[in-house]
Amino acid sequence: MDFQKILEQIQEDTQKYFGIGEVANYIPELAKVNPNQFAMTVATVDGDIYSVGASQQRFSIQSISKVIVFAMALEQIGERLFQRVGKEPSGSSFNSLIQLEQEQGIPRNPFINAGALVSTDEIIKNNKDAYEAILNFVREVSLSADIDYDFKVSSSELETADRNRALAFFMKSFGNIQGDVMMLVDVYCHHCSLSMTTEELSKLFLFLANKGVNPLNGQRVVSEYQAKRVNAMMLTCGLYDNVGSFAYEVGMPAKSGVGGGITGVIPGHLSVSVWSPELNASGNSLVGTKALELFSELTDLTIF
Ligand code: GLN
């Protein structure tokens, strides 16, 4: 398959979707991002990389980091994690409070904000320095030693993170957060601020396309069983309240972030990342979603 040609065609065919969505504006630093940007990278399990657009430009991965902390927490404590977080799609927005009250402080899944706060709470508990542990994981798995937090973005989000603090305090009132809430939200906002390119994200996610082993260096990241679980969770919960239409149109496990990134995997084949900052009403990249729909159409690659 000529991935380079396919990516070029996608880049051309998605031009018409610019100007419809809106850049995330509830995090002041993200509101400054130039909306008119696009990058897309395919990384195959054989180690080939194909890119178009600004694939060397780092951007804020935001909620894509929820996959990282979920995979880390699952690897560190196993299925016990599910005593604190569910496995069902939420059908509501990523920062909703309503369900939490009805469900006694147990978030529906690890990919809404409340669920990612639970994974982060576990990482704080189980690692000497959570900031360092998360950064090391990302650097090692994506083979990019200079990936870092974007401290401008994390400070900016921390100034406007009252809703996330509310979610964390609320869960704590049910006994489902063990550590200090202010510290927890600080670590959470830092991992959301991780700044990466589409190429780095595609490399990072390759272990999920390869039964838990990073094909770029042969190192096991999670067990085969856990890789399957992470992918299942992305398929059913990775795109908030767009998850059904995304599965219908694209047909691959994926995770989005309000920085405009989406990364997905076709197990056994590849990972694919796209970035374009304008978002649809659910907080997913609008052009990025269209690009992945076209990718699925042009390649016929799907898990179904
Ligand atoms: N840091 C963002 C928040 O907590 C992440 C949201 C997202 O990317 N959907 O609101």
Residue 178's pLDDT band, with cuts at 50, 70 and 90, is very high
241, pLDDT greater than 90: no
pLDDT for the residue numbered 258: 97
State the pLDDT at residue 69.
98
The set of residues, in sequence order, having a beta carbon less than 8 Å from that of 67 and lying 6+ positions away, is 111, 205, 208, 230, 234, 238, 255, 263
Q: Which domains does the chain have, with CATH numbers?
A: 3-299 (3.40.710.10)
Alpha-carbon distance 60 to 71, whole Å?
Answer: 19
Q: What are residue 275's DSSP bridge partners?
A: 39, 261
Task: Name the residue at shortest CA distance from atom 4 of ligand 1.
Answer: 113
* 168 Cα distance to chain centroid: 20
- For residue 218 the two structure tokens come to 């042969």
The overall average pLDDT reported for the chain is 97
Active-site residue 258, yes or no?
Answer: yes
pLDDT at 96 over 90: no
Please indicate whether residue 66 is annotated as part of the active site: yes
**270: alpha, beta or left, given left = phi > 0 and alpha = psi -120 to 50?**
beta
- Told to judge if 188 belongs to the known catalytic residues of this protein, a careful annotator would answer yes
The reported pLDDT for the residue numbered 93 is 82
Kindly report, residue by residue over 196-219, the tens digit of the pLDDT: 999 999 999 999 999 999 999 999
Q: pLDDT tens digit string along 150-163?
A: 999 999 999 999 99
**pLDDT at residue number 222:** 98
Taking residues 7-21, what's their average pLDDT? 98
The pLDDT, as a whole number, for residue 22 is 96
The per-residue pLDDT for 95 is 87
What does the pLDDT average to over 103-116?
96
Burial of 95 (0-12, 13-18, 19+ CB in 10 A): middle
Widest CA span in the chain: 54
Catalytic residue among 50, 142, 240, 274: 240
Active site residue 60: no
Q: Cβ(194) to ligand 1 under 6 A?
A: no
Residue 75 confidence (pLDDT): 96
* Any atom of ligand 1 within 6 Å of the Cβ of 113: yes
* Token digits of residue 293: 């729909």
- Please, which pLDDT band fits residue 91 given cuts at 50, 70 and 90? confident
pLDDT digits (tens, 9 = 90+) for 45-81: 999 999 999 999 999 999 999 999 999 999 999 999 9
What is the percent of the chain where pLDDT is above 70?
100
User: What are the distances in angstroms from CA 217 to CA 45, 50, 141?
Assistant: 11, 19, 9
Residue 92 has pLDDT above 90, yes or no: no
Q: Is the pLDDT of residue 226 over 90?
A: yes
